[in-house]
Amino acid sequence: METTVETARTGSLTRRGFLTGAVAVSAASALGFAGCAPGATSATSAESSPADVRTYTGSGAGRMGDIMVKVGIADNVIASVEVIKQHETPMIANSALSRIPQLVVRNQSLDIDAVTGATITSFGLKEAIGNALSQAGLSEKDLAKTGKDDGIKVEEPVEADIAVVGGGLTGLVAAARALQNGKRVALFEETAHLGGSSCVSDGWITGADTIMERAEGIEDSADQFYAFLTQGSEDPAIVPYPEITRTYAETSGPLMDWLDTYVNVDFGERKGGYGLYTPPDQPRIYGVNNGGGSMDMALIELIQSGIREGNASVVLEARATNILKDDGAVSGLEITYADGTVKEFPFKAVIMGTGGYSHNQDMMPYANCGTCSPSTASGHGWELAENAGACMLPPSIYAPYAGGIPNAGFEMRYQANLKFPGAIWVGLEGTRMANEDVPLLAKGAWGKASDNVGYVVFSDAQRVDGLRPIVLTSYLEGELTPWQSAELLDSLVDEGKVAWKADSAVELARAAGIDEAAFAQTIETYNGYCDAGNDADFGRTGLQKLEGALYALKTVPYQLQCTGGIRVNADANVLDASEQPIPGLYAGGEAIGMRQSSAGGQGGCGLGNAATWGYIAADSASAYVG
């Protein structure tokens, strides 16, 4: 994929183009949200192009693979930097892809701060430019540094009654809805981009009793959805606040209709239901065409109209560090900009769409838990809410996703394929963990496993061409081909840190750190079940004998949604330690935790919670400020 910034124009920005990255590099800057100081459309062009400029190509490691740049060099001067190839996630990386090349040219230096929220892309770009310099026989110290412009703007918001903290789906919905309610809104986002987790999400979203359902002749209701969300448990640990769950079930339909008819979110063929995540009672889950990022874009377009009319502002690289109060009620926000500038602004109401903590390793509720959330899931809303006196629900037991491969530490790009036909799941003790025919059981099984470690075990008999032993954790990256997946497995086996291959069960267990005797017994017993056609332990029916060389992939849970968070009432009004509403303070989405509103077990409830509670919070805040 060749990408240059010159190709991007707002008018030609299709959703598909936005996601594939073909015109994506300056999508955010075209919309005015990139947060980069220079206004030039050709962000990577040189300010001057002397005739003796020679170009060199360099590459560096981005988040999604190599980034390649073409650097024009005349004597010891960097005349131009052009990004010629990259696979980064557009909404996250846009700001770095435009800002870093510009600042390198302007400052004649690689000593440039990484763009907040796009650190890996920033470092990849600097590595690529440095690489091109060395091709020219130069190093950083050969450049005549001309300044230390960090490209950060300290922008003031419009005067507004309502402030929204966080530019993920919750914040975007809250801002767009408050604008629709006729309110002026200031949105603050701590990174250089909007979209939070939703811009990398698959885009499955749930809502009951919608126009889309009715058009398909489906009779659904909030009551049915509530019954589904709370099914099988009167356990207050699972559904701690039934009235909040009910509000979610009741508002999710009107919210979906609003997204569908007012925001004009592209729901593709508008058909509900999707494989693993389809609720068994009704297909009330819908896939946003091209993933959650295209829903963000539709909302951003509405907010952009508000900006043009002078009713809204979006301030990037601006972290809310304190909620100001007067006589117990919200009176404003303290904002700390990325360059360290601190300012205070008055607001009557604040909506917290600050998201979860899935990318904060210190806040993980599990041992050995990784993440596939972007760095925007920072947990920074916790501190903010706690300081404002909010009642906080602890991160409680809720198994994150299972099967993450910890080959690169905390951030997990790869997952063992938990649907790999014939594979079994084994814990450190060497025994099987659950019925492997039911991937949904994996969450609970990994949650209960010692050290939360589970091994996905298979043999040569299962390594059939065309199957993938390893898959990606993130939808936006597409998928590994079976060939790439098999090759990745082999390279992980060669490294011997998270994958092993051996001719006998005992050898495999020894290499992988599994109880050797128990594991050997498990394999023997399991193969016996296959011969008999009866899994006496778990009742599995997809039985395949483990024969030939054996493989084990070590996996742990990985998080992409949180449970604990800010306690709210049914109006999304934040409650204090005595469960009393804090006047003017509202919260929604992952900031309030999944369990509080949707029991957390249903696919599509992450985006559903974010959008629904952003909507509720906006309506409540609008009514409050009058």
The residue ranges that bind ligand FAD (CB under 6 A) are 165-171, 188-191, 196-198, 200-205, 292, 319-320, 353-356, 372-373, 376-378, 380-381, 384, 474, 560-561, 589-591, 604-608, 610
Cβ of residue 127: shortest distance to ligand FAD, in angstroms? 25
* Closest CB 75 distance from ligand FAD, rounded Å: 42
Question: Rounded to 5, what percent of the chain is helix, strand, coil?
Answer: 35, 20, 45
Closer by beta carbon to ligand FAD, 300 or else 493: 300
Nearer to ligand FAD, 108 or 396 (CB): 396
- Cβ proximity to ligand FAD, 412 vs 509, nearer residue: 412
CB of 444 to ligand FAD, least distance (A): 19
The residues near 78 (Cβ < 8 Å, ≥ 6 apart) are 46, 71, 72, 104, 105, 108, 129, 133, 143
Report the nearest approach of ligand FAD to the CB of residue 618 (Å).
Answer: 13
Which DSSP string corresponds to 488-550? HHHHHHHHTSSEEEESSHHHHHHHHT--HHHHHHHHHHHHHHHHHT--TTT---------SSE
CB of 286 to ligand FAD, least distance (A): 10
Rounded to a whole number of angstroms, the minimum distance from the CB of residue 561 to ligand FAD is 5
Using DSSP, state whether 180 is helix, strand or coil.
Answer: helix
If DSSP codes are grouped into helix, strand and coil, which group holds residue 222? Answer: helix
- The encoded tokens of residue 121 equal 């892309």
C-alpha–C-alpha distance, residues 584 and 574, integer Å = 9
Q: How far is it, in rounded angstroms, from Cα 25 to Cα 69?
A: 13
Least distance from ligand FAD to the Cβ atom of residue 173, Å: 8
Q: Are 78 and 130 in contact (CB under 8 A)?
A: no
Residues linked to residue 581 through DSSP beta bridges, in sequence order? 575
Distance of alpha carbon 358 from alpha carbon 433, whole angstroms? 25
CB 460 to ligand FAD: min, Å: 32
Please report, to the nearest 10 degrees, the dihedral formed by the alpha carbons of residues 448, 454, 460, 464 taken in order. 80
By C-alpha distance, which of 154, 27, 140, 39 is closest to 93?
27
Tell me if residue 343 falls in helix, strand or coil.
Answer: strand
Q: Residues 415, 558: contact at Cβ < 8 Å?
A: yes
Which among 527, 545, 521 is positioned nearest to 461, based on CA atoms? Answer: 545
Based on DSSP, count helices (H) and strands (E) in the chain, helices before strands. 16, 24
> Least distance from C-beta 251 to ligand FAD, angstroms?
15
Nearer to ligand FAD, 122 or 373 (CB): 373
- Of 128 and 607, which has the nearer Cβ to ligand FAD? 607
Would you say 101 or 606 has its CB closer to ligand FAD?
A: 606
- For ligand FAD, the closer CB: 127 or 317: 317
Task: Indicate the SS3 state at residue 612.
Answer: helix
Which residue number, 136 or 560, has a Cβ lying nearer to ligand FAD?
560
Tokens for 533?
Answer: 């056609």
CB of 576 to ligand FAD, least distance (A): 19
Neighbours of 217 (CB within 10 A): 6
Instruction: Supply φ then ψ for residue 536, to 5 degrees.
Output: -70, -20
Q: Which is nearer to ligand FAD, 81 or 605 (CB)?
A: 605
Cβ proximity to ligand FAD, 355 vs 430, nearer residue: 355
Structure-block tokens of residue 500: 């092993």
Dist CA 253 CA 208 (whole Å) = 5
Q: Phi, psi (5° rounding) for residue 392?
A: -110, 130
Residue with tokens 């829903």: 295
Nearest residue (CB) to ligand FAD, 60 versus 593: 593
Residue 288 Cβ vs ligand FAD, minimum distance, rounded to whole Å = 8
Please state the closest distance from residue 174 (CB atom) to ligand FAD, in A: 9
| Nearest alpha carbon to residue 64 among 26, 118, 5 | 118
Question: What does the alpha-carbon distance between residue 446 and residue 367 come to, in Å, rounded to a whole number?
Answer: 11
Q: Which is nearer to ligand FAD, 157 or 171 (CB)?
A: 171
Task: Give me the least distance between CB of 381 and ligand FAD, in Å please.
Answer: 5
- Kindly tell me which of 153 and 510 has the beta carbon lying closer to ligand FAD: 153
Name the residue nearer to ligand FAD (CB basis): 220 or 436: 220
Choice between 24 and 199, CB closer to ligand FAD: 199
Opening angle at CA 282, ends 281 and 285, nearest 5: 130
Pairing of strands 550-559, 499-502: antiparallel
Rounded to the nearest whole angstrom, what is the least distance from the CB of residue 350 to ligand FAD in the complex?
A: 11
Token pair recorded at residue 82 = 């052009």
**End-to-end alpha-carbon separation of the chain, Å?**
50
Where are the strands (E) in 94-178, listed by range?
Answer: 162-165
Strands (E), 208-287: 285-287
Structure tokens at 504: 């006998």
- Name the minimum Å distance from CB 438 to ligand FAD: 20
